[in-house]
Amino acid sequence: MPGCVFGLLGPNGSGKTTLFRILTTLLAPDAGSVTVAGSNPQSDGHQVRAQLGAVYQDTALDDELTVEENLRFHGALYGLKPADLNKRIDELLARFSLTERRSSYVKSLSGGLQRRTDLCRGLLHRPAVLLLDEPTTGLDPAARHAFWSILLHIQKQENTTILLATHLMEEAERCDEIAIMDRGAVVTQGAPDDLTAAMGSDVLLLESDTPSALRDHIEAQFGVEAHVVGSLVQVTNGDIHHLMGSLYEAFGELIQSATIRKPTLEDVFMAHAGYHLEGGAARFTESTLQL
Protein backbone atom coordinates (compact mmCIF):
# COMPACT_ATOMS: atom_id res chain seq x y z
CA MET A 1 0.00 0.00 0.00
CA PRO A 2 1.61 3.25 -1.09
CA GLY A 3 1.96 5.82 1.66
CA CYS A 4 1.79 3.38 4.56
CA VAL A 5 4.30 2.53 7.25
CA PHE A 6 5.07 -1.17 7.10
CA GLY A 7 7.18 -2.74 9.84
CA LEU A 8 9.31 -5.86 9.87
CA LEU A 9 9.56 -6.97 13.48
CA GLY A 10 12.09 -9.59 14.39
CA PRO A 11 15.31 -10.24 16.30
CA ASN A 12 18.80 -9.94 14.82
CA GLY A 13 19.39 -12.65 12.26
CA SER A 14 15.74 -12.94 11.24
CA GLY A 15 16.52 -11.67 7.72
CA LYS A 16 15.47 -8.01 7.85
CA THR A 17 18.84 -6.59 6.80
CA THR A 18 19.24 -9.24 4.10
CA LEU A 19 15.85 -8.26 2.67
CA PHE A 20 16.95 -4.62 2.59
CA ARG A 21 20.13 -5.52 0.76
CA ILE A 22 18.07 -7.35 -1.84
CA LEU A 23 15.69 -4.41 -2.21
CA THR A 24 18.55 -1.92 -2.60
CA THR A 25 20.05 -4.21 -5.30
CA LEU A 26 23.18 -4.89 -3.23
CA LEU A 27 22.43 -8.59 -3.04
CA ALA A 28 20.64 -11.06 -5.32
CA PRO A 29 17.93 -13.23 -3.76
CA ASP A 30 18.76 -16.95 -3.43
CA ALA A 31 15.21 -17.75 -4.53
CA GLY A 32 12.01 -15.90 -5.32
CA SER A 33 11.65 -12.37 -6.59
CA VAL A 34 10.80 -8.90 -5.32
CA THR A 35 9.34 -5.78 -6.92
CA VAL A 36 9.97 -2.20 -5.83
CA ALA A 37 7.43 0.35 -7.08
CA GLY A 38 6.80 -1.91 -10.07
CA SER A 39 10.46 -2.62 -10.95
CA ASN A 40 12.69 -5.61 -10.37
CA PRO A 41 15.90 -4.80 -8.45
CA GLN A 42 17.83 -7.42 -10.42
CA SER A 43 17.01 -6.23 -13.93
CA ASP A 44 16.18 -2.53 -13.39
CA GLY A 45 18.70 -1.67 -10.70
CA HIS A 46 18.91 1.98 -11.70
CA GLN A 47 15.16 2.43 -11.73
CA VAL A 48 14.77 0.83 -8.31
CA ARG A 49 17.61 2.73 -6.71
CA ALA A 50 16.22 6.05 -7.95
CA GLN A 51 12.90 5.32 -6.20
CA LEU A 52 14.41 4.16 -2.93
CA GLY A 53 15.85 6.00 0.00
CA ALA A 54 17.64 4.05 2.70
CA VAL A 55 18.74 4.78 6.25
CA TYR A 56 20.96 2.11 7.75
CA GLN A 57 21.94 1.07 11.24
CA ASP A 58 25.29 2.83 10.77
CA THR A 59 24.81 6.35 9.50
CA ALA A 60 26.09 6.87 5.97
CA LEU A 61 27.60 10.25 6.82
CA ASP A 62 31.21 11.30 6.48
CA ASP A 63 32.33 12.47 9.95
CA GLU A 64 34.95 14.81 8.55
CA LEU A 65 32.48 16.80 6.49
CA THR A 66 29.81 19.24 7.63
CA VAL A 67 26.08 18.52 7.60
CA GLU A 68 25.60 20.56 4.47
CA GLU A 69 28.62 19.07 2.67
CA ASN A 70 27.30 15.58 3.37
CA LEU A 71 23.88 16.42 1.98
CA ARG A 72 25.37 18.06 -1.10
CA PHE A 73 27.55 15.05 -1.68
CA HIS A 74 24.69 12.55 -1.56
CA GLY A 75 22.41 14.85 -3.55
CA ALA A 76 25.02 14.87 -6.31
CA LEU A 77 25.17 11.07 -6.29
CA TYR A 78 21.45 11.13 -7.10
CA GLY A 79 22.08 13.64 -9.88
CA LEU A 80 19.95 16.37 -8.26
CA LYS A 81 20.34 19.77 -9.93
CA PRO A 82 22.12 22.36 -7.76
CA ALA A 83 19.11 24.71 -7.60
CA ASP A 84 16.67 21.94 -6.64
CA LEU A 85 19.17 20.45 -4.24
CA ASN A 86 19.72 23.78 -2.45
CA LYS A 87 16.00 24.25 -2.00
CA ARG A 88 15.51 20.71 -0.78
CA ILE A 89 18.41 20.95 1.69
CA ASP A 90 17.04 24.22 3.13
CA GLU A 91 13.60 22.69 3.43
CA LEU A 92 14.74 19.47 5.11
CA LEU A 93 17.17 21.17 7.48
CA ALA A 94 14.41 23.53 8.60
CA ARG A 95 11.98 20.66 9.08
CA PHE A 96 14.48 18.68 11.14
CA SER A 97 15.56 21.74 13.17
CA LEU A 98 19.09 21.38 11.84
CA THR A 99 19.42 24.77 10.13
CA GLU A 100 21.77 26.09 12.81
CA ARG A 101 23.94 22.99 12.47
CA ARG A 102 24.36 23.09 8.72
CA SER A 103 28.02 24.10 9.00
CA SER A 104 28.86 21.80 11.92
CA TYR A 105 31.08 18.80 11.37
CA VAL A 106 29.10 15.61 11.65
CA LYS A 107 31.58 14.24 14.21
CA SER A 108 30.66 17.11 16.56
CA LEU A 109 26.93 16.26 16.56
CA SER A 110 25.10 14.14 19.14
CA GLY A 111 23.83 10.70 18.13
CA GLY A 112 20.28 12.00 17.76
CA LEU A 113 21.32 14.86 15.47
CA GLN A 114 23.47 12.52 13.38
CA ARG A 115 20.47 10.23 12.91
CA ARG A 116 18.31 13.15 11.86
CA THR A 117 20.95 14.32 9.39
CA ASP A 118 21.13 10.82 7.98
CA LEU A 119 17.36 10.77 7.60
CA CYS A 120 17.59 14.08 5.67
CA ARG A 121 20.09 12.34 3.43
CA GLY A 122 17.68 9.47 2.78
CA LEU A 123 14.85 11.86 1.92
CA LEU A 124 16.83 14.25 -0.34
CA HIS A 125 15.61 12.79 -3.63
CA ARG A 126 11.96 12.41 -2.48
CA PRO A 127 12.02 8.62 -2.62
CA ALA A 128 8.74 6.77 -3.20
CA VAL A 129 9.86 4.14 -0.71
CA LEU A 130 12.03 4.80 2.33
CA LEU A 131 13.83 1.86 3.94
CA LEU A 132 14.72 2.28 7.60
CA ASP A 133 16.98 -0.39 9.11
CA GLU A 134 16.89 -0.03 12.91
CA PRO A 135 17.04 3.75 12.44
CA THR A 136 17.01 4.69 16.12
CA THR A 137 19.69 2.29 17.38
CA GLY A 138 21.57 3.91 20.23
CA LEU A 139 19.12 6.77 20.77
CA ASP A 140 17.54 7.62 24.11
CA PRO A 141 13.72 7.60 24.28
CA ALA A 142 13.42 11.38 23.90
CA ALA A 143 15.61 11.46 20.78
CA ARG A 144 13.75 8.45 19.39
CA HIS A 145 10.44 10.22 19.92
CA ALA A 146 11.70 13.37 18.19
CA PHE A 147 13.03 11.33 15.27
CA TRP A 148 9.66 9.65 14.74
CA SER A 149 7.45 12.67 15.08
CA ILE A 150 9.40 14.57 12.40
CA LEU A 151 9.59 11.53 10.17
CA LEU A 152 5.87 10.76 10.27
CA HIS A 153 5.05 14.39 9.58
CA ILE A 154 7.09 14.39 6.37
CA GLN A 155 5.93 10.91 5.45
CA LYS A 156 2.30 12.09 5.42
CA GLN A 157 3.10 15.25 3.54
CA GLU A 158 5.07 13.53 0.77
CA ASN A 159 3.08 10.30 0.82
CA THR A 160 6.24 8.24 1.26
CA THR A 161 5.92 4.52 1.81
CA ILE A 162 8.08 3.45 4.72
CA LEU A 163 9.48 -0.02 5.23
CA LEU A 164 10.89 -0.27 8.73
CA ALA A 165 13.04 -3.04 10.17
CA THR A 166 13.09 -3.07 13.94
CA HIS A 167 13.31 -5.23 17.02
CA LEU A 168 11.64 -2.60 19.19
CA MET A 169 7.95 -3.02 20.11
CA GLU A 170 7.62 0.69 20.58
CA GLU A 171 8.58 1.30 16.95
CA ALA A 172 6.51 -1.57 15.60
CA GLU A 173 3.42 -0.10 17.26
CA ARG A 174 3.76 3.04 15.15
CA CYS A 175 3.30 1.04 11.94
CA ASP A 176 0.10 0.69 9.94
CA GLU A 177 0.94 -2.92 9.33
CA ILE A 178 3.66 -5.26 10.52
CA ALA A 179 5.11 -8.61 9.52
CA ILE A 180 6.71 -10.63 12.28
CA MET A 181 9.86 -12.35 11.10
CA ASP A 182 11.71 -15.31 12.51
CA ARG A 183 14.72 -17.04 10.94
CA GLY A 184 14.20 -15.59 7.48
CA ALA A 185 10.46 -16.14 7.19
CA VAL A 186 7.33 -14.11 7.93
CA VAL A 187 5.41 -15.90 10.69
CA THR A 188 2.42 -13.57 10.86
CA GLN A 189 1.29 -10.30 9.39
CA GLY A 190 -1.36 -7.67 10.09
CA ALA A 191 -2.17 -4.35 11.72
CA PRO A 192 -0.63 -4.19 15.21
CA ASP A 193 -4.04 -3.79 16.86
CA ASP A 194 -5.51 -6.74 14.98
CA LEU A 195 -2.56 -8.93 15.87
CA THR A 196 -2.84 -8.16 19.57
CA ALA A 197 -6.64 -8.46 19.48
CA ALA A 198 -6.28 -11.96 18.01
CA MET A 199 -4.54 -13.01 21.22
CA GLY A 200 -7.75 -12.51 23.19
CA SER A 201 -8.45 -9.90 25.82
CA ASP A 202 -5.77 -11.06 28.23
CA VAL A 203 -2.59 -13.10 28.28
CA LEU A 204 -1.44 -15.26 31.16
CA LEU A 205 2.26 -15.83 31.77
CA LEU A 206 3.28 -18.57 34.18
CA GLU A 207 6.83 -18.94 35.37
CA SER A 208 7.93 -22.47 36.04
CA ASP A 209 11.01 -24.64 36.55
CA THR A 210 9.48 -27.26 34.28
CA PRO A 211 7.63 -25.21 31.67
CA SER A 212 7.26 -28.03 29.11
CA ALA A 213 5.62 -30.35 31.61
CA LEU A 214 3.33 -27.56 32.77
CA ARG A 215 2.28 -26.79 29.19
CA ASP A 216 1.49 -30.43 28.48
CA HIS A 217 -0.66 -30.66 31.62
CA ILE A 218 -2.51 -27.45 30.79
CA GLU A 219 -3.24 -28.43 27.22
CA ALA A 220 -4.36 -31.95 28.25
CA GLN A 221 -6.64 -30.89 31.10
CA PHE A 222 -8.04 -27.54 30.01
CA GLY A 223 -7.87 -27.77 26.23
CA VAL A 224 -6.42 -24.26 25.78
CA GLU A 225 -3.45 -23.28 23.68
CA ALA A 226 -0.21 -22.76 25.59
CA HIS A 227 3.33 -21.95 24.44
CA VAL A 228 6.65 -22.44 26.17
CA VAL A 229 8.86 -19.37 26.00
CA GLY A 230 12.09 -19.76 27.96
CA SER A 231 11.03 -20.46 31.55
CA LEU A 232 7.52 -19.14 30.88
CA VAL A 233 4.30 -20.73 29.73
CA GLN A 234 2.13 -18.34 27.76
CA VAL A 235 -1.62 -18.96 27.71
CA THR A 236 -3.85 -16.98 25.35
CA ASN A 237 -7.38 -17.05 24.04
CA GLY A 238 -9.40 -18.21 26.93
CA ASP A 239 -11.20 -16.94 29.96
CA ILE A 240 -7.85 -16.18 31.52
CA HIS A 241 -9.13 -14.84 34.86
CA HIS A 242 -11.23 -17.88 35.47
CA LEU A 243 -8.54 -20.20 34.21
CA MET A 244 -5.87 -18.87 36.53
CA GLY A 245 -7.66 -20.00 39.68
CA SER A 246 -8.20 -23.49 38.31
CA LEU A 247 -4.60 -23.74 37.15
CA TYR A 248 -3.28 -22.87 40.59
CA GLU A 249 -5.50 -25.49 42.17
CA ALA A 250 -4.39 -28.16 39.71
CA PHE A 251 -0.65 -27.44 39.29
CA GLY A 252 0.19 -24.92 42.00
CA GLU A 253 3.44 -26.73 42.84
CA LEU A 254 4.72 -26.26 39.25
CA ILE A 255 4.03 -22.50 39.12
CA GLN A 256 6.45 -19.99 40.60
CA SER A 257 4.66 -16.81 39.57
CA ALA A 258 1.83 -15.72 37.33
CA THR A 259 1.21 -12.52 35.42
CA ILE A 260 -1.93 -11.41 33.62
CA ARG A 261 -1.63 -8.58 31.12
CA LYS A 262 -3.24 -7.05 28.05
CA PRO A 263 -1.62 -8.66 25.01
CA THR A 264 1.25 -6.73 23.43
CA LEU A 265 3.22 -7.27 20.25
CA GLU A 266 5.78 -9.02 22.43
CA ASP A 267 3.11 -11.64 23.22
CA VAL A 268 2.27 -11.96 19.53
CA PHE A 269 5.95 -12.52 18.79
CA MET A 270 6.36 -15.02 21.64
CA ALA A 271 3.30 -16.99 20.55
CA HIS A 272 4.59 -17.31 16.99
CA ALA A 273 8.34 -17.60 17.46
CA GLY A 274 8.56 -19.36 20.81
CA TYR A 275 11.09 -16.98 22.34
CA HIS A 276 11.43 -13.46 23.62
CA LEU A 277 12.09 -10.68 21.18
CA GLU A 278 13.60 -8.22 23.62
CA GLY A 279 16.15 -9.35 26.14
CA GLY A 280 16.15 -12.84 24.64
CA ALA A 281 19.89 -13.21 25.09
CA ALA A 282 19.74 -12.05 28.70
CA ARG A 283 17.04 -14.59 29.53
CA PHE A 284 19.11 -17.31 27.96
CA THR A 285 22.12 -16.56 30.19
CA GLU A 286 19.86 -16.48 33.21
CA SER A 287 18.50 -19.93 32.55
CA THR A 288 21.95 -21.28 31.75
CA LEU A 289 23.16 -20.00 35.09
CA GLN A 290 20.36 -21.85 36.84
CA LEU A 291 21.73 -25.09 35.48
Partner 1 sequence: MIATLYQAIAPVSALWRREVIKFLRDRSRLLGAIVQPLGLWLLLGLGFQQTFQMPGDAVAGINYLEFLFPGIIALMILFTAIFSTISVVEERKSGFLQAAVAAPMSRTVLVLGNALGGTTLAVFQAALFLILLPVIGFSVSVQGLLLVLLASILMGLAFTALGFAIAWRMDTTRGFHAVMNLFLLPLWFLSGALFPAEGASPALAWLIHLNPVSYGVDLMRQGLYMPADAPLHLASIGVGLLISTVLAAVLIAWAVYTVRRPLFSDT
Footprint on this chain of partner 1 (rule: CB under 8 A):
18, 21, 24-27, 46-47, 49-50, 52, 54, 56-62, 64-65, 69, 72-74, 76-81, 118, 121
Q: How far is the CB of 200 from partner 1 (least distance, A)?
A: 39
196, 170 contact by CB (below 8 A): no
Cβ atoms of residues 28 and 42 within 8 Å = yes
Percentages of the chain per state (helix, strand, coil), in multiples of 5:
45, 20, 35
The DSSP secondary structure of 238-250, one letter per residue, reads: S-HHHHHHHHHHH
Q: How far is the CB of 92 from partner 1 (least distance, A)?
A: 16
Between 58 and 253, whose beta carbon lies closer to partner 1? Answer: 58
Measuring CA to CA, which residue among 202, 206, 207, 208 is closest to residue 264?
202
Question: Cβ contacts of residue 92 below 8 Å, gap of 6+?
Answer: 71, 98, 120, 123, 124
> Least distance in Å: CB of 145 to partner 1?
23
Distance in angstroms (rounded) separating the CA atoms of residues 226 and 117: 46
Q: Which residue's CB is nearer to partner 1, number 52 or number 98? A: 52
- By three-state DSSP, how is residue 65 classified? coil
Cβ 113 to partner 1, closest distance in Å? 16
What is the smallest separation between the CB atom of 78 and partner 1, expressed in angstroms? Answer: 6
Dihedral sign of CA atoms 121, 124, 125, 127 in order: positive
The distance of closest approach from Cβ of residue 255 to partner 1 in the complex, given in angstroms and rounded to an integer, is 44
For partner 1, the closer CB: 112 or 190 = 112
Amino acid at 199: M
Closer residue to partner 1 in complex, CB, 71/271: 71
Q: Give the residue with the Cβ less far from partner 1, 134 or 267.
A: 134
Residue closer to partner 1, measured from CB, 84 or 194: 84
Amino acid at the residue 248: Y
